[in-house]
Structures are given as C-alpha cells and as structure tokens.
Chains A and B, each alone.
Chain A
Amino acid sequence: MAEVHRRAPDRPERWDVVVIGGGNAALVSAMSAHDQGARVLVLERADRTFRGGNSRHTRNIRCVHRSADDYNTGAYPYDELWKDLCGVGTGPSDEDLAELTVTESESVPDWMSAHGALWQKPLAGTLHLGRTNRFFLGGGKALINGYYRELERRGIPVWYEAKVESLEFDGPRCNSLVVDVGGKRVTVTATAVVCASGGFEANLDWLREYWGDAVSNYHIRGPRFNDGLVLRQLLDNGAAVAGEQRGFHSVAVDARSPKFDGGIATRIDSIPFGVVLNKKGERFYDEGEDIWPKRYAIWGRNLAGQPDQIGYCVWDSKVQGLFLPPMYGVYKADSIAGVLDAMGLPTEPGRTTIERFNAGAPADAAGRFDPGGLDGVATAGVVPAKTNWAQRIDTPPYYGITVRPGITFTYMGVKVNAGGRVVLEDGSTMENVFAAGEIMSGNVLSSGYLAGFGMTIGTVWGRISGREAARHALR
C-alpha cells in the first residue's frame, strides 16, 4: 500500500519539478520528468480514494497506429486522425500544436505500456470504437492505479489532499506555491512547475458567469475538485487564453443522477429510439440526426437551451431493450399520457405532440427500421423533423426518462508553446511554468470533441511538459 503522503514537510526543500494535479496529465508529467532524472513532487487535491480527477472516469484513448494489433482492430493512419480532428467543432485551434499532438500520439501506447498501463482486447461492447480507440483494461481508474503504482515504485512522492491555492510569481517566474495540505498551509518551492489540474467544470460560480441560473440544473460528470483554481491563477498572472471561454462538452444524463461525479453510468442512450419533449411538451431537435456516437455530445447543449434545462424522452415497447438500460430504471405506463404523468410532465400538450409525430412517421417504418445505421426512416410534415429511426410511438407499454445536461469538461485553458510552456498575453512565455491536459486542451481543439482525444492530449502534453520542465530544472 502506498505510504500516506499527506504529511507536510517539516523542512523546506526545493523540488526540481512540482506537478499540480493527480489525473492522467499530471501522472504522465511526473513520470516524464522523472525519466529525465528530476526530483519530482506530485500535489493531488483529492484523497487517495478519489484521486485521479476526470481521468478516473475515462475508458479509452485515440492514437495513430499503422496496423491492427491485439488492441486495435485495424490501422488508423495519421491522415485519418487529422481529418477526424478537422471535422469536429471549429477544427484545430493551433494547427502546429494540433499536428504535433497527432504525430506524437503514435508513440503514446508503447510509452503508456512501459509506464504501467494495461489494455483490453476489443470486445463486443467496444467494437464500434475498436479500430480507432484503445481501451484501458478496467477503465481509467485502473490505468491511474497503475500509474500511481509506478510512481511509488520510482519513489516519486504524492501528497494527497494537497490543494494548491496560489502560485507566487516574480515576473514571469513562479518561485513557490502555497498549498493547503490536509488543512495546514505549506509553501512549496520548485525550480519548475507543471500545471495539470484539469478544467473548471466543477466551479459552478464560474460557470454561472456565462450561463446564469441554468447552472443549477447542470450535472457535473466528474469530481467536484476541478474548480479551475490553478487556471484562474495563471490567467490572473497574465497567461493567454486558449479555447472557447464559454465552451463545454456535455451529454444527456439521467435527471436523477447526483450533482457531481456520476461518471459514465448516468449517460442516457435512448434518445435516437424515441422523441424528446421539453417542459412545454414540445419537440425541439431532430433525435435521429446522425448515428448516436456522433451525436450524443450535442444533447447536453440541446437540453441546456431548453426551459429549466430538462428533457422528457419517450419511446415504446418496440425499441425497449435496444440500448443500455439506465442505471436508475425507466418510467413505464400503459398509455403515453401515463408515462408523461409519471415523469411529472402535464399530459397536454405532450400527448398531442407525440400524436402529431406519429401522424408524420411513415406507415412502413417498422419494415425499414434499422438501429445498426442511418435508415432514412424520416417523418414528413413534422417540425422539427426526425430524419432517421422515426417509428411511431404506438405500442404499449410506453417508457420514459427525464434528462438533464451533464458537463464533461470545459474548453477554456491557457495557451502554451510547442514545449508546453505557458504563453503570456504579450506573446512571451512564463519562465518555468508548464501546462498539460485539460488545462491546455484549448490549444488543440477550441470547441467540439473527438472521443478518446482528451487522454491523448493529456498524455502527449504530459510527456512534453514533464520533460521540458525537468530540462529547465536540470539545465
């Protein structure tokens, strides 16, 4: 078992590299700096049990590979990943850094294996991503556990419950960090600092600045610790912004899920199989726009824009069982009015909306319906149209579930250069402060998201920033 690293140091010591954070980007930075021979300290705000930030909720990573292997079902060449990256959101924000990320991704899996990662063979449930993405055996927490074991093996200390409160600057140089270690305030001095403390998605007040009271109805899918305190410190000390300020990645989650840390299990996949009504009982978006893996991340935003940020998804027994069962179960009734009522939605005008939807759905839908791909079974004369899988909702029992936006992470971060150094607003760089992971992912993608690329960014940039921080310290 890992030693308890919560102890505050009794004598001040200078570390070569101090890494802020305890998720994927932080641990990779720490090992990368250690590979260079640096004396490294890791400061993780969570306790040992809940360590690992958003990374503990992940399951796969997307990297370039030239051929199939044990863990990927086929090749995924540079050009294809680059094209995929250009296809999301507004595309790469800094082309050079994005290209560097894609190029570097090719050596990531081997590097990870050498530093304690284990992989899962492609299985039935993961096949649709089995070619492009590699799955961690046991998921992100298992990966993180493996990294922490490797840290322990190397003798890299980790202080848990160590919350960095401020970075003390002298011009462009950070001289020390003020850290709250289990309730005790400690000053930590370091020759170089890597900031890998994630986004600010768990900071409701910060989100409220952009989104107002709607935030009360958002769920945060990861831990409550990612409040962007370190990001704020960097911005306040002149760091330039990268990534869309108001941007966040979000999906539809079960309205009954907890405010924080619900992770993957609260995600709702029923949307393409039925219709979604808002609080006013109206449909508001094409539920069958594209295959679900390409569209699930639109629904967080869709819901965030609706009254009270809530949606009511309804389907019937024809499609029940075609998607993962929600963890809290579903509402069920023998009539549409019954299921709307069970979800707490007034029966009208919801029932009328569904009747109108049914009238617009093709009569021969049942014969053409194909959940395996875009089937073109579309409504006619209904606004908004449902352009695929538009079967009538007419076979009892009827099912329903209430959905809310679940925020995965925020996009805004600090700008870095190709060596991971934080760039200031005037274009110069901080002397000894580096960044990796979500806190700088806006350099690669300023909006939009490619499944599995968050871990790629964290690993590629953790490697770069850890290495460069160590070189700076040991120069």
Chain B
Amino acid sequence: MLSDDLFAEAERQLNICNSCRYCAGYCPVWPALELRTQLTVTDVTHLSNLCHDCQDCFTACMYSPPHEFAVNPPQVFASVREETYGSYVWPAEPPAALRGRRGVLAAFLGSAVLVAVLALLMGESSVVDGSHTRSPYELIPHFTLAVIVLIPTIFTLLVMARAAWRYWRDIGGTLAGLTDLAAWTRTFGQAATLRHQTGGQEGCSYPDGEPAGARRRFHHMVAYGFLLTFVSTVSAFILETFLDSAPPYDVVSVPVLSGTIGGVLASVGCVGLLVLKRRADVLQSTESMRRADHALLWALLALMLSGLAVLVLRATPVFGPVLGLHLATVIVAFAIAPYTKFFHWVYRVLSIQYDNRESRRRASA
C-alpha cells in the first residue's frame, strides 16, 4: 500500500506541476495529471505506472533539487511503484524458503539437487556419465521435465493474472476496458516500441541529463531477447510433443536460432542496463528501486547465460550438468518472478491501456 507520507509527498510535488504544466508535451502523465486536480492514491498509482522514467521532466524542471521546491517526478513515481507493486501480488510474501538473497541461493541449490536426483533416477546414463547425446530428455524424461518447469510457470501466471486484475480494478478500469481492442492496438504498439520512454522529442535524458537513446535500446534487447528465448523453449516443447521431432535440433532450427539470438541479445541488454545504472544520477531514483532493478537484471542474466551455455555446450561432455544448472535457474526464476520487478510491464501496460481510453474520451469530448 501507498504510505501516507509518500502520498503526501507525491501530492505536494504534483500540485506544483499542476500549477505549472510546462511538461505537458513530454509524455501522457501530464495530460492525465491535468484531468486530476484533486489527487487520490489511485491517481498517483496510475500516473506512476504511466511514467516511463525518461527523466525529461526532471531535466526541464526549474524546481528540481536543490531548488527548495524539490520537484522530482521520476523519483517520486519510482517510489510509488516500488511501494505499490507488492500490494497486488498474492501470496504477498514469497514462500519463506525463497525470501532474501540467501533464500534464492537455497532455492537454487534445492532445485539443482532436485534436477540431479531426478536425472540420476530417471536419466539415461549416457548423459549423466558424460558419454552424452544432445537431447535434454535424456537427462530427465520429457514428461517429468515438463511438470517440474510448468509448476512454477503456472504459479507465476496465476499470480500475474490476479495482480493484473486487482490493479486494473484499482485504477478504475472496467471489463469493457479490457476488451477494447482498438485501445489495445495502440497500447501494444506503444508498449512494444517503449514509446513513452522517449519522452518528448528530446529522447531519453537518462542516464546523465543529456538526450540519449541508449537505455531504450538496451531495454528492447532485454525484452525482445527474453521473448525469443521464450519462443525457443515453447517451440522445442511443441516440436517434441506435437510434431514428434526429437532434439537435438539443427543449428538452423527455430529453437536453436531463437534461443541463441535471444540469449545473446538479452545478455548484452542486461549488461548494458547494468552499466548505465552505474552511471545514472542517483538523485532521480531510489536506492531500493535500484536494488530491485539489479536483482531482476542479474536473474535474467543468469537465465540467459546458462541457457546459452546449454546451446553452446550441447555437444560436449559437460552438457548434462550445464543443463541441470539451467533448469534449476529456470525453476527459481519463475518461482520468484512475482516478487521481483519482472511484473512491472503488467502494471505499465494496463495503465497505458487505461490512458489510451481516457485520452480518446478526452479528444472526443
């Protein structure tokens, strides 16, 4: 939940913005703010997810700190997102075993052991003893593998669906709003291109107050890279289950190509974002948000690198252990996903959708 103090601070700053409105041309936050002169917690939450942290308003603001008005919208919005994200997730806390850095490590070791035990019990000795082939299903039979990966995946999807619905209701969304295809077309276009992260024509002022498109490009690499690796996994599953085509797949095949390209893209993107973060001005974000960003980026990086290792090393004797580590990473990553920043895109996409409907109403009014 949004604390009273943070709401009061957001309200203080946004009241100044509402008496100023110089930033009206930068992003959808500003026209939406003009419609909300008596701010509520819901308004502030919605606006905070519309803000894509491009920093243009901060750079343009004559009241940004150290001015005594200390107006810093990207920071106050980041704090609001951070405080509210958790409140839509149920169960609100990760299972006790997974909490904190130590919990993640323990979960990872546990999953690794689980995979190893399953491999020893069910796997073909060729993989385990290194005389190998290149199919994962020789490590763990297809069905078992599907089950142990699907359980955390389905868990995450359910938690996500519930969070999405609660968020949507909270910002005043209706069922009609969710089925508004015309608005969804715009929404997905804007989300897919990260339109709002470009701010005004200036381009993103992040990380050092001068326009630069670097962060947007890296974010694209992570998002699309991740999607590609997802395509890789799903296509492999489909090939095996429905088309009777068993791995190992050729280099020129959907799973290998999409996995390789996606893995490389996302890894480069993660590293790029981590480097930008080191350079960025701490003034505009919050310390714990930076930590949450780092956690997600490192988790993704681990996922991508272990996945790539599987692809590259599939013809070598270490294939079995590497695959085991990757599987353990996948299991843990999905299990903790609801508690990392991984869900941020859900809230953002919903707020964009809400805003698209609102601005259409405004335009026709």
A456 to B210, CA, bound (A): 26
Mark each residue of chain B from 39 to 72: 1 if its CB lies under 8 Å from any CB of chain A, else 0. Answer: 0000000000000000011011111001111000
Select the stretch in A122-130, A161-169, A419-427 that faces chain B: A122-130
Instruction: Please give, as numbers and ranges, the residues of chain A lying within 8 Å of B287 by CB-CB distance.
Output: none
B: interface residue count bin = 20 to 34
27 A-B residue contacts at CB 8 Å? Answer: A50-B67, A56-B62, A57-B62, A118-B201, A118-B202, A121-B25, A123-B24, A124-B31, A135-B25, A138-B25, A138-B56, A138-B60, A139-B20, A140-B22, A141-B60, A141-B61, A145-B59, A263-B62, A263-B63, A264-B20, A264-B22, A265-B19, A265-B69, A266-B19, A325-B15, A327-B16, A328-B15
Known contacts A124-B34, A261-B68, A325-B15, then 17 further A-B pairs from the complex at CB < 8 Å, ordered by chain A residue: A1-B209, A59-B22, A118-B201, A137-B25, A138-B200, A140-B22, A141-B61, A142-B60, A261-B67, A264-B19, A265-B20, A265-B63, A321-B37, A324-B19, A324-B37, A325-B19, A326-B15
Contact B34 A138, beta carbon cutoff 8 Å: no
Q: How far is the CA of A327 from the CA of B362 in the complex (A)?
A: 25
Interchain nearest-CB distance for B311 vs A (Å)? 41
A111 to B56 alpha-carbon distance, docked (Å): 23
Q: Is the CB of B21 within 8 A of A125?
A: yes
Knowing A126-B24, A138-B23, A324-B37, the reply to whether A118 touches B31 (Cβ < 8 A) is no
Closest residue of chain B to A254 (Cβ to Cβ) is B19
Interface centre among A56, A121, A142 (most CB of B within 10 A): A142
CA distance A123 to B20 in the complex (A): 14
B18 touches A324 (CB 8 A): yes
B186-213 contact mask (Cβ, 8 Å, vs A): 1 or 0: 0000000000000011100000111000
CB-nearest residue of chain B relative to A152?
B210
Taking a contact as CB atoms under 8 Å apart, the answer to whether B26 and A327 are in contact is: no
- Complex: A145 Cα to B64 Cα, angstroms: 14
B interface, CB within 8 angstroms of A: 15-16, 18-26, 31, 34, 37-38, 56-57, 59-63, 66-69, 200-202, 208-210, 362
Query: Smallest CB-CB separation from A263: which chain B residue?
Result: B62
Q: Can you name the residue of chain B whose Cβ is closest to the Cβ of A136?
A: B22
Whether A142 contacts B59 in the complex (CB less than 8 A), given A125-B24, A149-B210, A326-B19, comes out as yes
A125 / chain B contacts, CB cutoff of 8 Å: 21, 24, 34
Quick one: closest B residue to A121, CB to CB?
B25
Closest approach, in angstroms, between the C-beta of B299 and any C-beta of chain A? 32
Whether A329 is near chain B, meaning CB under 8 Å from some CB there, is yes
Closest 9 CB pairs of A and B: A139-B22, A138-B60, A120-B25, A142-B60, A265-B19, A265-B20, A141-B62, A327-B19, A327-B16
Give the interface size bracket for A toward B: 35 or more
Complex: A49 Cα to B23 Cα, angstroms? 18
Chain B residues, Cβ within 8 Å of A328: 15
Please give, as numbers and ranges, the residues of chain B lying within 8 Å of A120 by CB-CB distance: 24-25, 200
Cα–Cα, bound, A132→B67 (Å):
32
B60 touches which one: A126, A145, A258, A261 (CB < 8 A)? Answer: A145
- Distance of B232 from chain A, by nearest CB (Å): 41
Q: Which residues of A contact B68 (CB under 8 A)?
A: 258, 261
For the complex, give the distance between the alpha carbons of A56 and B62 in Å: 6
B62 touches A140 (CB 8 A): yes
A267 at the interface (CB under 8 A from B): yes
| Closest chain B residue, CB of each to CB of A59 | B22
- Cα separation A59 to B23 with both chains bound (whole Å): 10
Tell me whether A327 and B15 are in contact (CB under 8 A).
yes
A139 x B60 contact (CB < 8 A): yes
> When chains A and B are docked, how far (Å) is the Cα of A267 from the Cα of B19?
8
For A329, what are the chain B residues with a Cβ–Cβ distance below 8 Å?
15
Min distance, Cβ A73 to any Cβ of chain B, angstroms? 15
